[in-house]
Amino acid sequence: MRITDTMTASNAIYNINEGRIKLDRLNEAISSGKVVNRPSDDPVATKKILDLETQIKSSNQYVSNIKTGQTWLDMAGTSLEGLLSSVMSIKGVAGQALGSITDPVKKDNVLSQLKAFRDQLTDYPDVQVGGQYVFSGFKNDVPPFGESTVTADITSGSLGITNIDTTDLYPGLPITGPGIPPDSTVSTITTSSTGVGISNGAITFTNPNMPPIAATATATTATLTFTGKFNGTEDIVNMEITKGVQVPISISGGVVLRGGTPPGSTGVDIIKTLDTLIADINSGNTAGINAANIALDKANQQLLGAISDVGMRKARMDNALTAQQRNLNVLSEIHDNLQNVDYAKAAIELTNQKTAFEAALAATAKIAPLSLLNYL
């Protein structure tokens, strides 16, 4: 078979182009730091790299989820510990109440302390993570125990309030409103006699003054304000820590402080217990004070149980984080071995390829001028 000049030139050009392609790929790999820059570089490795990157992305998301969950649980745990400390202090003050109801000075001191603790009880759960309230369930855009309002008719010179929805009210609940004297609390509640709803209910209020000061203003459909109502939901916010596994990260303020929904249905209604205790101290009701002390012991256990539950969830989060970080390290190492350039090896290959390329150019330059006449 005769080798023509065209065949020789084509072969030389092909080899030069192949050498140039190899040089370009080596330069691209070194500049990008990646072995595979396009699927055609290595289809098999490309599939493995894409699969690994998907797994790494998922692991990073789980790590982020776990850290967010840890923050929620840390905030919840701190609040619960504060609540436990307050309830223990309330129990201590309540223990002094029986000996102070006959001494006006001691009685005022006890009541002052209990009212301060009442504010603490609703303040501790008012914690947020990223603008979301930890104790509010699915309604995490509202404070769990913010101010609540209800409309009613108030009559000047009267201790009675009419046309009021009494659903969230109870004797001993502190209330404020137009013309309502300071330190007033609900005394009695009367629901609608027709049985059609309770929006037409009525209440009377009292205050520490003897006799109690009546309302000083008349305002039809005035607004009464009170605190202690749980404004969230008992739904639990969950966080996915690995595929198909979720851990609850929120705590229901209604369960912790109000004993469930409705209040007292699953546990101790701590806020109502405290309000009732204050009313009983004001009225000298020793039986009520004793009952409050018993309820506060149960409240203690209720909060300890919640703290223990949060601690177990936190431990599970910690273990999950360790596992995910270990998994992430393994995946990243495999990915790096497939994709990252070994610069020392690449530099040697580049030098060798340059030498081969330059040799090909030199050989082609010598061969190109030859023709058939040179062989005759």
Nearest to 190 by CA among 179, 199, 177: 199
Nearest to 73 by CA among 247, 325, 319: 247
* CB of 266 closer than 8 Å to CB of 170: no
CATH 1.20.1330.10 for domain 36-138+233-339: yes
Residue % of the chain over a pLDDT of 90? 60
| pTM for this entry | 0.80
Q: Is 89 exposed, middle or buried (0-12, 13-18, 19+ CB in 10 A)?
A: middle
Tens digits of residue pLDDT in 299-344: 999 999 999 999 999 999 999 999 999 999 999 888 877 776 666 6
Spans of all domains in the chain: 1-33+341-376, 36-138+233-339, 147-226
Tens digits of residue pLDDT in 119-159: 999 999 999 999 999 999 999 999 999 999 999 999 888 89
Residue 268 has pLDDT above 90, yes or no: yes
Strands (E), the chain: 128-129, 132-133, 148-154, 160-164, 185-190, 201-206, 219-226, 238-242, 245-248
Residue 2 has pLDDT above 60, yes or no: no
CA 332 vs. chain centroid, Å, equals 28
φ and ψ of 240, to 5 deg:
-80, 125
206: β partners: 185
Tens digits of residue pLDDT in 72-126: 999 999 999 999 999 999 999 998 888 888 888 999 999 999 999 999 999 999 9
Residue 45 has pLDDT above 60, yes or no: yes
Question: Under DSSP, is residue 187 helix (H, G, I), strand (E, B) or coil?
Answer: strand
